[in-house]
Amino acid sequence: MKYRLYYWAEIQGRGEFIRLALEDAGAEYVDVLRSSDRYSMPDSVFALPYLVAGKRVISQTPNILLYLGPRLRLAPRNEAGRLWVHQLQLTIADWLVEAHDVHHPIGSGLYYEDQKREAKRRAADFLAQRLPKYLGYFEQVLRSARGGYLLGKACSYADLSLFQMVAGLRYAFPVAFGAIERRYPRVTGVHDRVGARPRVAAYLASRRRIPFNRQDIFRDYPELDLVGKKSKKT
């Protein structure tokens, strides 16, 4: 099966979670918008990315991975295993939205400059409250899994996504994330193991990997990389 992925050509964004799965599996695929700026949005699709697989059109990042997982050997075939890795992916999806909303707390269609003050408040809350909650959760899952990956010894698409979260957070919050990441050695361990997988390493070193940049979900605004600023709790 030759897959066709439709996602913005200039950013990693949500599409990167699909790209990493396709690359790690050595799947044959075309990242369509990287070579052409002409495409149509199918009526069934609310937002990019979408994947075309034969006659199928599938959208919503976690849904695409749900479909691809067993086919790329990045998820178990049995129902319980598929639901478990999908559950982990949905939690990563929630985390990603929050990482994005740090710099766009008022509206994704507005300029960052027009919501900079609100972004500083949201960043403080994200870094003090939310980031440790997500990291602690995945650290615990990895502790129980006992194999170096979220499901144990086999790498799943959720591990590739966790790699991407760590890479993005290190880029966006070098100071704040750097100050706490030692507390989550299993999470950063997944990052290292995934980054060392031969096909992933080759991908990251290639021009197919779009560099992080300030149009993307993760953005390295120093004014949002806050340390030790506690926000008021309820």
Count, residues near a copy of itself per rule CB under 8 A? 46
Of 82 and 199, the one with the shorter C-beta distance to a copy of itself is 82
Check residue 126 for interaction with a copy of itself (CB under 8 A).
Answer: yes
Whether residue 102 contacts residue 208, with contact meaning beta carbons closer than 8 Å, is answered with no
Binding of residue 78 to a copy of itself (CB under 8 A): no
Rounded to an integer, what distance in angstroms lies between the CA atom of residue 143 and that of residue 155? Answer: 15
In the DSSP assignment, the letter for residue 152 is B
Tokens (6 digits) for 120: 């500083």
* Residue from the set 34, 91, 195, 199 that interacts with a copy of itself by CB under 8 A: 91
Is 97 one of the binding residues for a copy of itself (CB under 8 A)?
A: yes
* Choice from 38, 109, 222, 228 touching a copy of itself (CB under 8 A): 109
Phi and psi for 57 in degrees, rounded to 5? Answer: -120, 120
- Give the three-class secondary structure for 3: strand
Q: Give exposure, 33-51, as e/b (b: 16+ Cβ within 10 Å).
A: beeeeeeeeeeeeeebbbb
Point out which residues bind a copy of itself (CB under 8 A): 43-44, 46, 56, 58-60, 62-63, 66-67, 79-80, 83-84, 86-87, 90-91, 94, 97, 101, 105-107, 109-111, 114-115, 118, 121-122, 125-126, 129-130, 134, 137, 140-141, 144, 231-234
